[in-house]
Structure 1
Amino acid sequence: MGVRNQTRVVEFVFLGFSGIPNSHIYLFLPFLVIYLVTVLGNLMIFTLIQLDSSLHTPMYYFLSHLSFLDICISSVTVPKILVNFLRQRQTISYNQCLAQMFFLISFTGTEAAVLGVMAYDRYAAICKPLHYSHLMNTKLCTMLALASWVWGALDSALHTALSTTLSFCGVNQIHHILCDVPPLLKIACNDARINEMTVRIASYFVAGGPFFFIVLSYSLILHSILKIHSTTGKCKAFSTCASHLIVVVIYYGNALVNYNRSSTAGDSMETATLVSIMYCMISPMLNPLIYSLRNKEVKGALEKVLGSRRKTARPHTTS
């Protein structure tokens, strides 16, 4: 036992797909397709916002941050999964594991804050339309975006610092497909009660804070919409919030299941793997589809860009 306690873990082995024989053969292509769709879809949204001046508004400014975050969340996890599909053993070094965990928590925490800020933007646009330009000026938008990134980074730094205190006693098999705090706590051999308490508090504070802000904002929005007498006006007001609400439900639904599974249900490796796929892959892939399919301005900007390219590509004829 003394020798076992002195064994230092230098790498971890992922067991998330061990229940599927020859999983790399069947899963590599679907994972690659999902990743490419995620990156290209979010990159399209991000690029359109930068190119089209009509989209240079606070709402689309924060949407560009959301698209960039979705690219980052997928890029932190999926490429490593794809590489492991091509290897006999699905492993990750200790330092890479901590780095992956740091960036994953940082980006997901930042996304929670950005979604909260976007809810405030919708509140200002619908409830305070005459003061909107003052409430959401360029300086404030920049400060809110910066604060969102700091919000996620501080939370991530705390979790990563506490994770460096964990001992694994030679046990290096993670029943998961990526490095995150909950799966590492399960294989730690030292007292991790402080880490577990921190995860619980952070899940309520870091994600719950923006969620409370979102609920408050939409309560005020709903109150204002109900005062609108015109049915057309109500529908228009609801439509401006629909895409954001769908993204919020998907994000917080997956986050709640991922970080607050009960000890009995959370012990299932298949459940943990499925939830992580939803959280880190499916949600970032759906977000650009939700905003592009339901948003006339985004579709208009895309048509404008494609139309200008067709004109540029059209050969010139001379008489």
Structure 2
Amino acid sequence: MGSCVTRRGFVAGAAALSAGAARPASAQALPTGTLRMLIGFPAGGGSDVMGRLIADKMRQRTGANIVIENKTGASGMIAAEQLKNGPADGSVVMFTPSATLAARLTNDSVGFDPQKDFATTGLVGTVQTAFAVSPTLGVNTFPEYVEWVKRNPGQANFGTTALGSFTHFVGVMLGNAAGVKLEPVPYRGAAPLVADLSGGHIAAGCGGLTDFLEHHRGGKLRIVVTAGGARAQAAPEIPTAQEIGYKDILIEGWYTFFAPARTPKPLIDAWSREIAAVVADPVVRDRLVTLGLDPQPGAPDVFAERMDHDLRRWKQIIDAIGYKPT
């Protein structure tokens, strides 16, 4: 009986969501012409794969001409600066992880302020930060990796997909908690880091779960721990840092779409509505979960409040670590 009720509830909920996703006759549509989606990381990384997945479904849903532009470098901040100076007519958005904003917190010279220069379309989903090791090490758990580092102190470094972000800080925090000093090595996104982990050119790496999960399954790297509050839905076999004894390590990142801050609210709402409908599509949702994202599409105003809260908390963590950009 319980399963029947659950099924009916799911169908009813899906129907309601579908109805809610339909554009009201009076609502603003997406702009006509070419729509640009900026991604601040290389093709093939987690951010790129998810952004293209959403863009493809949006093209099918709306008929819009959406072009992906990979503006790589500086932990996604090059794309962010281009977005800030982009046209505020709804024709350009940026798909970005929270790592880019966290990196901005450590560098006062960055030419954008996310709270002043961008308008969010709402939360897309949350993601955990993952710590992975090269399969060439022959270790299977984080404690085993710590013992390996103690035997090989000359290789006590890890790659980070975004220097000055939580893919940097989580690695440092894990090392500190385990009593080993781990030095970050910056990479221009996940794809080159994955290649070096697979080839044994670096012993460990830290990035978004979305960047690593498929490569973990394919044996190119081995995720040994995440920084989430609970095991990831897509990877229940991977323990959290809290589970293995590091109670203070808990960081949950997220993904959102930003537009330039001057973009009119009706156009922001149009993007938000279409993105939410795409992310709620069962095929897209299942694929995002497989990639390591927990889809949670939400309203722009609600997410803006969360973003403000998270930025304040992350600044406290950065100050506690004592990180100073070079």
TM normalised by structure 1 equals 0.28
Q: With structure 2 as the length reference, what TM-score do the two structures score? A: 0.27
Which structure's residues are more often helix, by fraction? 1
Larger Rg: 1
Instruction: Compare the two structures and name the one with the higher strand fraction.
Output: 2
